[in-house]
Amino acid sequence: MSRVIRPQLWSKFRRRFWWLKEARQEQERLKFLGRSVTRKWKSRSTAPNVLLLSVDSLSAKHLGCYGYDRPTSPNLDRLAQSGVLFQNVIAQVNWTKPALASLLTSLYPSVHRTDSVDESGDRVDGGVNRRVNILDTRFRTLAREFKDKGYRTVGASNGGYAHSLFGFSRGFDFYDDHGGGLKSCFYRMMQWLWREPGTPFFGFIHCWDSHFPYMDRPPYNHLFVSKRADIVLDSVTRNRVNRRKRSLSSCELDFLKGLFDGSIVYVDQQIASLVNELHRLGLAKNTIIAITADHGEAFMEHDVVEHTECLYNEVLHIPLILIGPGLQPGSKVSAQVRSIDIGPTLLDLCGFRPKAEVQGVPLRPWIAGKETRPLLAVSETRRNGGMNAICDGRYKLISRQTSNQVELYDLHHDPEERTDLASTSDLLLRSMTERLRMWEEETRMCAERYWPEDVHDETVDVQPEVVERLRNLGYVE
């Protein structure tokens, strides 16, 4: 019984003592202010800095610049107007560890293998396997690419599945995963950079501020909540809902969506504060900022909550905003692109090309309007028996591997993926199935070049403190 109650108690603690986290974040800001007053940033190169911000579960459909009707993201909306807004970006997987691996290597999960068959979802406690796959040393990360070009590379996260334990610190001169939220991550990163101000840097932050069980603290828990409900979306509740063992009332669903949207307002404000700080420091004019997410979030659009159960677009459609030198304000890219294209694009904007074999492409031709074709996007997961989704920009096929079930959608006429055409469009179904087979063959060959037959996946035992962090995020029962 205690394992069921504990997440509820943690939620109550967070709601009552939210100010402790804010006090810690303010402490990090004050530490940095002390350093920045005494030492000024003097650029030693014309090369642009790069800052990649990844916000966990930040669903594109919940942002104003993507058409949402609630005012969740006024600052992100303004940033989108000052740079390039990519309107149709597809994530390559539906949960954090392999999603970040794809973001940082520009490879599909089938190649980097951080989404393993024998890893029991994201439940790594109790009787569930604690030994998990990590990002292997054979893969060159985006940080390594920039480091080899003379950049200082620094990363920060709240821990969880962005923890250095899982291989994400590779290529970074400094990687901090002590938690504390987006604001703390940013100022800890800047404190380290200010030891040697002036050298161009690549910074990476992954924050969990909008992740379930969702922020339940004032004023954000009042912005879009008309009536409270006695529910916390912890691992127990999530699994019961998704296994059809518990239903959600309309009041409960509205409450959870209200908390989620409120947490996005919080993230939106934090990002605005971060950008303002870069302006204050004189860094904004020579820093390329990319704002994206690892995946989105589901709220019963297809009878599941959270993000690990499906490959529908409420989970796969993620935001991407680029601002900085050389990027035309007010630009929009409507063509379908992928999260694996973000790394090559950032390198290309700095005049570099990746040394490693990657599956993403630079998006500069799309930014310049010279290219408009949609890029073929595949998303995959080993969870729930394994699923693949392939989309050509209009038609989308979802294939469930163990049950051999397929779904087919025309996203131009059915963007919510409500009308399954698999039983009525045999020719189109065969065509999309063949494209998926060809992608699988190409990806298998790429994986074989990285993984000789005598080499096994790299794994680690999850440390107790990481399990505790995952529990606090609602992942572990």
- The Cα 363–Cα 368 span in angstroms is 9
DSSP H or E segment with residue 24: helix 18-38
Q: Which residues touch 69 (CB under 8 Å, ≥6 apart)?
A: none
Task: Identify whether 345 is part of a domain.
Answer: yes
Structure tokens at 308: 């690990």
pLDDT at res. 8: 54
- Which pairing describes strands 459-461 and 131-133: parallel, antiparallel, or unpaired? antiparallel
| The predicted structure's pLDDT at residue 234 | 83
pLDDT of residue 123: 46
On whether residue 419 sits in a domain, the answer given is no
CA separation for the pair 11, 258 (Å, rounded)? 16
The H or E element containing residue 300 is: none
Q: Residue 26 falls within a domain, yes or no?
A: yes
Q: Provide the percentage of residues in the chain whose pLDDT is more than 70.
A: 83
Contacts of 117 (CB under 8 A, 6+ apart): 382, 386
In a domain, 396, yes or no: no
389 in a structural domain: no
d(CA 247, CA 61): 24
Please tell me the distance from the alpha carbon of residue 403 to that of residue 390, in angstroms, as a whole number: 17
CATH of the domain at 88: 3.40.720.10
CA distances from 131 to 125, 458, 462 (A): 10, 10, 6
Average pLDDT, the chain: 88
The predicted-structure confidence for 72-130, as pLDDT tens digits, reads as follows 999 999 999 999 999 999 999 999 999 999 999 999 999 999 986 544 444 444 434 45
pLDDT at 407 exceeding the cut of 80: yes
Q: Does pTM top 0.75 for this prediction?
A: yes
375 CB-side CA count, 13 A: 26
Mean pLDDT for the stretch of residues 266-275: 96
How confident is the model over 161-187, as a mean pLDDT?
90
Residue 7 lies in a domain: yes
Domain extent, residue 113, equals 2-373+459-472
Check if the beta carbon of residue 75 is closer than 8 Å to that of residue 107.
Answer: no
Strands (E), 189-296: 201-207, 287-293
Exposure of 225 in the CB half-sphere (CA atoms within 13 A): 24
Per-residue pLDDT tens digits for 22-72: 666 677 776 677 666 556 677 777 899 999 999 999 999 999 999 999 999
- Phi and psi for 237 in degrees, rounded to 5? -65, -45
- Residue whose C-alpha is closest to residue 47's, from 146, 172, 132: 146
Confidence (pLDDT) at 338: 98
Cα 267 from Cα 251, distance rounded (Å)? 24
| Total domains present in the chain | 1
pLDDT number for residue 68:
98
- 10 Å Cβ neighbour count for 197? 18
Q: Is residue 300 a contact partner of residue 288, using CB atoms and an 8 Å limit? A: no
- The structure tokens listed for 418 are 């409500």
Give residue 289's region: left, alpha or beta (phi > 0; psi -120 to 50). Answer: beta
Both tokens of residue 401?
A: 């591997």
Quick one: pLDDT at residue 36? 64
Predicted pLDDT at 122:
45
Whether 331 has a pLDDT exceeding 70, the answer reads yes
Peptide bond just before 213 cis, omega within 30 deg: yes
Mean pLDDT lowest among 169-173, 353-357, 454-458: 454-458
Q: Per the domain annotation, does 25 fall within a domain? A: yes
The DSSP result for 366-392, as a single string, is: HHTTS--PPPPEEEEESGGG-EEEEE-
Q: Which of 56, 292, 26 is nearest to 184 (CA)?
A: 26
Helices (H), 84-166: 96-105, 109-112, 142-147
pLDDT for residue 454: 57
Average pLDDT over residues 272-300: 95
**Cα separation, 402 vs 345, whole angstroms:** 36
Q: Looking at the domain assignment, is residue 445 inside a domain?
A: no
Mean pLDDT of 282-308: 96
Whether a cis peptide bond, with omega within 30° of 0, leads into 7 is no
Q: Which two tokens stand for residue 287?
A: 């820093």
Please give the biggest Cα pair distance in the chain: 69
Percent of the chain at pLDDT exceeding 90: 70
